[in-house]
Structure 1
Amino acid sequence: MQVVRARFLATELGIRDKLAVILLGQSSLTVALNASIGRHLPHLQLFVEISRIDGDIAALPNLAAYRPTGQQHPLISILGLIFNMTMHEKYDWYYIMPDTTYVNPFELMRFVNHVNWNRPVAIGYKDDEDTTRCSLQAGILLSNPAMQLLMQHRHLCNSISSSSDHAALETCIHYATNLSCTNFYQVYFFFIAKQHTSLAIVFNVFEIHRSLSVSPLLSDADAHALHQHFLHVELDRISSEIDVLSAEIASLSDDIADGPSHPAGLPPFSKPPNRHQHFLHVELDRISSEIDVLSVEIASLSDDIADGPSHPAGLPAFSKPPNRHQVPKWQFFTTTEIFKNEPNQNVYALSGDDKLDVEEIVAAARKYVEKSGHEREDSEEFVQLRNGYRLFDPMRGMDYIVDLLYRGNNGVRVHRIHLTRGIASTQLLNQVPYVKEDTDLTIVVPLGTTEEVGAVRRLLAHHVHLCESSSGDNRQTRIVVAVRGVDPSAIRLINNDVIELRIRYGLFLVFIDRFLA
């Protein structure tokens, strides 16, 4: 008889990874959570409906897309993907969460490393309406036997009808596993923190440090701010452990002979040998190994912490790309030219809004440098702008790096200044009719002063360029130009542009000569 051996030793011995986190994505929060908590978890799998996948989500390597068929509930497609995942790769624990919840990866890993997985259990926060179900908003932790029950009896979920996907999945887990939700398991509590309007309120709550999850997230900035907070909490905890171990080493060192001994490993001739010395060395080696492990962990966590405070608060620094596949492309500019990232032509004369933008940034940078020089009593004269770079980030705004050349008593000196033209306010819209959000668009352009006429005309010209470059696009775009308090001659110019666009491209444009304040 020939014995067929497994290809991998882990398969033959039944060794599994400790945890798999299943993230149900619906918005850009999926990308933010993947970039923050993904590197601290053994396995993070993203499940996103295909109609909600944009360019950023599509670039993620751990994405699993699904498409509901007919009248079928999206829950059925999700369970099918989970079945395929659990059939090939098995884990001790499974944590299911939406993308509107932040999970503390450090507390979650400590939780699953200290409890047994060999009995079916559903751990989470009890639902307010039905205490037998776990609330998906707080995340649901299932042991391996519980997940096997869910997969074996997932057909019971076919007849579930619910007003929301979250309630349907909560009911499905309860029906298929026949398990009641618990927030206490083997002397460990499952803590959650509920989000407030201000993150400062959440951070001041003591339980936030021990929470496994925080929900709901209001924006991408919340995900980044929470991750930075828990990184600092984890670093403080590890530093405290190192201090305790260092104190223990100091206390044990009092019992060890001073200086090196010869032969190696034996006490000096002046000290009679005993077994206590040997075990002291063993204990010191063990503590030193623990300190080395904690030091490596600190070094890995430090890579995630932005150098210094970031601006806007809670968002990562512009100089750190999320991964090697999403490295942003900066635009280089001088006082006369700008180099844009376009396939056919990338060098343009600096004019229009770009020229005004560069002039404002250079003026702001000069003001900062000269104010700092005045405080240091340095006499420097501005010579020119040597280099300039800018990058647009939809979360941060426009970031700039400018190199200003100054001449002083000590020769020529270059000052590199980082600036940000922040977005006034951003808001994440969860309840958006995603079927039409990209195909039926209305752009309202308010025009209140004569100085803005040139900018509006350039905007219309840029829109013409977009229409010419995407002839096969089926989007329906309306442009509404609302005007008040502008010179009549300028209004006629814009009106002529609107009429020309309507005739040449069939665009639907509305021109209003008054609008309410």
Structure 2
Amino acid sequence: MARHVTLLQCYNTINVIIDPKCCRLLMPAIIGISLGIAMSMMYAPFSENSCETFVANHDPQELVNKREQKSLQGLEDSLKFEPKLRLQQENVAPQRSPTKKLIRPRYASTELGIRERLFVAVMTSKTTIDTLGVAFNKTVQHHVTKMVFFMEEKGQTLPAGMSVVSFSDKYPHLVPIHVLKYISEHYPETFDYYMFVSDRAYLRGEKLVDLVNHISVSQHVYMGFPQMMKDGSGTYCPLEGGIILSQSILSRVLAELDWCSTNCHSSDASLNLGQCLLHSTDMNCQDHTGTKSYTYYKVSDFDFDDEIPKLKQKEVFNASISVFPMPDDINHYKLHRYFCQHELNQTKKEIEKTKDNIIYMSQFAPGGRESVNWPIGVPEPYKPKSRFDVIRWDYFTETHIYFQDDFTNYKELKGVDKQDVQEVIKISVNRLNEKYGNIFLYSSLVNGYRRFDPQRGMEYTLDLVLRDISKQNWEVEKRVHLVRPLGRVEIVPMPYVTENTRVNLILPVTVDEKDGVANFLDSYAKTCLDSGDNTYLLIVFIYRHQLDGGIEDTFSVLKSLVSYYERKYQNGGKVSWVSLTHQEAYISDLYIMDEVVSRFQPESLMLLSSVGMELAPDYFNRVRMNTIQGWQVFFPIGFWQYKPNLIYDQKPYPTNIDINSKSGHYDANSFEHSSFYVSDFTDMRKLFSAEEAQDSDIYDLFIKSQKLHVFRAIEPALKHKFKNFSCPSSAPLKMFQRCLTRRSLGLASRGQLAKLVFEHQKKFGPDQLNSNNLNQDSGRIQLIKNLN
């Protein structure tokens, strides 16, 4: 306490006399301050970077100029970032340089640098293109990624369906060098492997693809049938046996094309290519790489009928990928048939061997051999976890199938369904005769049941009536169970596209549909125009008569509304209209596209739409992804709403469409929504005659041409409000029947219609309702009209 009092006295006193205790406390601070001042005074004269020294060593005018230019070396931060007064007239927004828009490639594989697997270059000539070339194409083309035929000069006629490139110099021995130049211009980095082969070779395409699929892309591959150079400098691969090059090797060759063009002029085309490869890569031809071998078999004056009995005994021949040279196309086809049969026999042996292994190993598994399912190797039947997962069995006879779906009671067996039933019956009778010694003759089918099990395939249970010829044609009944197992699931290679393509919506509007166009435009503005989605809308107004001065335009209000949206969104100009005149009540979408397709570029993506559909960004993105130019068209199956006054008890009706069985259904008979490219449409349209176009639509156009994949799938983002179908009698018979079916099935579900029938009977009595007509479309529609 005394110490605190002394300190207080020390700080508040004005006397000269200082308490010794205060001095002891303040002494370190005083000494530190004194030393700091002394050191700074001693160091200042020797400092070259001080402000005084810097200014003293430079011209004052030079310092001012450097300060204005802001280029003074070593200037302090305070000089560099000196605040500047901005006057009011200078307060202008700085101009920004225009930013480049990122344009993504059409295909994601291009953006990621993903290569295709195998390119095959076939050397042919105008004398063999129609025989050996066609045979080579038919046996190999469906296995490889890309195949192109090269010849020294163009023949008079070329086979259809083949990619043929001809050169103008007419020198056959220089064709391989020209092929390398062609690849450098078109496919320099597109494929992992490149094969060069003559059309005189027979290739087993499936084994070839299997070979390259099991070779790492990091290896340098130069494989074929090794032959020694004439000068003994190394080995090369003749074109007759085939040559496989990896991308890394090909890139070296393409870099030395000038040397190859100048120095490779031998009369032998294979030797020219071999010299080019040897000079560019300094590698010799080998028949293997790593653990994988390129197997081949060389024949001389090959005649299939004479030599195949001996050759089929040789393992080297049966395991070969390439057999060469082929004398003609007949021997080529015969050899192909032999190898197909050989592969089939090998597959059957592997299946039997696998079955034996499964039976043997089952004794060591839980449950023993009783745990083995039938058929052996096929997964066991699906076990439902609840009553909602039970797979329904379809009942059928030889003529009809019953309750195939929720909308039909019975349907006549025809087409592939009828062929399937006939084939199953035939297989059943044959297997029974194998078991009982050919004593049965087929009589009739009593009962048939089938269901599709996603784990094992299609299952059948048949009750057959057979006549036993060993017992004076007595009729016996046999129940058989069959399974058509699922084969190997194959993934169809499809180009993966990016979502940056412009979608051009085509909206046909008739007089009956004009009331819903305003809502469609409003939805389009909110979904696409406000968000800046890359879309364009073309409305097609369809008239029944020619417009003249005395007739009022029924679409005048809608045209004004389109002009309003055009003025509102001037930057894009993404809405416009065009008018068509059609006298008939029925107008095909094929006719509409014929009239408007000339307004678009060949690379434009078209999307046919309809009044009443809900627009969703997810739907547009799915259209972009599922429509591939030159490869695939898209026909989505949308969700169509039932008639609101039949499915809802009271007003107001909901404005949004919920996807459930009570509010609507996926209409598999709907084909008015489709997306395709203009170039694909015009190419397919050329193959369609005028007579075929009268009774067809766009779906028929792509189905009958069979040039493109037709992708048809359920699309949850495509919702459509209820539409009252008017089925004109002038429509083609197929379209008219389809319209009647859609009108019947689009009213309400079975349960909802049954409830209406019950209420009708309760209110008016059963005499006013003909129950025999309930299954007919006309009776059902008439019933709903009476209820309304």
User: What TM-score does the superposition give when structure 2 sets the normalisation length?
Assistant: 0.32
Larger RCO, structure (CA 8 Å, separation 6 or more): 1
TM-score norm. by structure 1 comes to 0.47
Higher alpha-carbon Rg: 2
